[in-house]
Amino acid sequence: MTRLKMGMIGGGLGSFIGDVHRKAAGLDGMISLVCGAFSSTEEKSIASAKAIGIPKSRAYGSYQQMIKAEAKLPEDERMDFVAIVTPNHMHFPPAKMALEHGFHVICDKPLSLNMEEAIELEKIVQSTGKVFALTHNYTGYPMVKQAKAMIAKGDLGTIRKINVQYLQGWLSSAVEKTDHKQAAWRVDPKRSGIGGALGDIGTHAENLVEYISGIHINELAADLTAFGEGRTLDDDGNILLRFENGAKGTMTFSQIATGEENGLAIKIYGTKGSVDWHQENPNELVVKWLNQPKQTYTPGGNGGYPEASEYVRIPAGHPEGYLEGFATIYRSFAKELNHVKQGNSPSSLPDFPTVQDGVRGMNFIYKAVESSSNNASWVTLKS
């Protein structure tokens, strides 16, 4: 097996998400980080490279520089793909350039700064024929896969009700006014786009709902609020949902839910049964039935479907966490790349979030903001 070669854009020293991407990419031994434009200056980029064992020669001062230089390297040396781990406003430009220079792309969410970029990016992916993955990492948990498989097989019957929450408390106080890098860009429309918590975590919730249930949101009515003094972007939102199959639901998300850490949780109710999953305790899937006692499924445990078990790395009872779920996205991305490198066409339904999912996410942001601007009136998601 030859490892795939990854170039990283962003993720310099002190970046939370860059480190996550590196660990996730490396976990299954299918990918090696070989180069990076880690920071906005060459000096900083080299410092970051040094700290993580990348030679100075492969540390670049800008993504443009990196893409051009790497493209000129021999095929067995140059990077195979780029991982984009910058704030939202810096997703589209490097993604576009990388794709157009023949590199595959894996990119943090949301897809882009705005809708126009999202639509253009979808076109570029299609025209270049390159592989593009979006790291909606929560879809990588085995118990999320189990829930998805149970619904797809009809175990729960017809889905009628969905409640999803994504609750955090880290913006409860005005941390963006302190020296808090993460907070600073998230409350800044220039770097985040039109969604605050909506874009940062609401899109994860939207993606998870559609991924597990297999049904699309049809309409929404959103009530977004910026509670933090001086904030222009939402830090909290409550949304009514209507799904294409007639199911109804709610979404609530917040970054001012004091004391919550990373409370992404989902409940989906069908006519025969229901599933209940919480990201902070990701190795349990509670399934409640119409006529049987409720069950708890675990990764690799009794009764799990192969659709879930294949994502389990260690025996039942040995908890896997956030990094492992994230790594599953990278592993599926790597498998697809190997598939394509062997001369195959990209899969039509690859096992990771795609640029189309990213466009759906951007559309969700736009429609939620539109609804909220109109006093939470209903907005249809289909364009």
Binding mask 46-65 for a second copy (x = CB under 8 A): ----xxxx------------
For residue 246, the minimal CB distance to a second copy (Å) is 8
Contact, 132 vs 105, CB < 8 A? yes
129 binds a second copy (CB under 8 A): no
Report DSSP letters for 173-213, one per residue.
S-GGGSS-HHHHHHT-HHHH-S-SHIIIIIHHHHHHHHHHH
Count residues contacting a second copy (CB under 8 A)?
A: 94
Which CB sits closer to a second copy, 122 or 210? Answer: 210
242 binds a second copy (CB under 8 A): yes
Q: Which of 297, 333, 364, 366 binds a second copy (CB under 8 A)?
A: 297
Between helix 92-100 and helix 63-72 the angle, nearest 10°, is: 10
Question: Which region among 73-81, 125-133, 302-310, 332-340 touches a second copy (by CB under 8 A)?
Answer: 302-310
180 binds a second copy (CB under 8 A): no
| Site residues (CB under 8 A) for a second copy, limited to 305-334 | 313-324
Residues whose CB falls within 8 Å of the CB of residue 185, separated by 6 or more in sequence, listed in order: 87, 191, 192
Between helix 355-373 and helix 115-128 the angle, nearest 10°, is: 170
Question: Which region among 24-32, 35-43, 189-197, 361-369 touches a second copy (by CB under 8 A)?
Answer: 24-32
CA angle 201, 157, 311 (to 5 degrees): 50
258 binds a second copy (CB under 8 A): yes
Contact, 4 vs 338, CB < 8 A? yes
Residue that is written with structure tokens 């070989």 in the block: 34
213 binds a second copy (CB under 8 A): no
| Site residues (CB under 8 A) for a second copy, limited to 26-45 | 26-29
296 binds a second copy (CB under 8 A): yes
For residue 99, the minimal CB distance to a second copy (Å) is 27
298 binds a second copy (CB under 8 A): yes
Q: In what order do the strands lie in the sheet with 81-84?
A: 31-37, 4-9, 81-84, 104-107, 132-134
263 binds a second copy (CB under 8 A): yes
| Site residues (CB under 8 A) for a second copy, limited to 65-84 | none
Residue 234: count of CB within 10 angstroms of its CB: 29
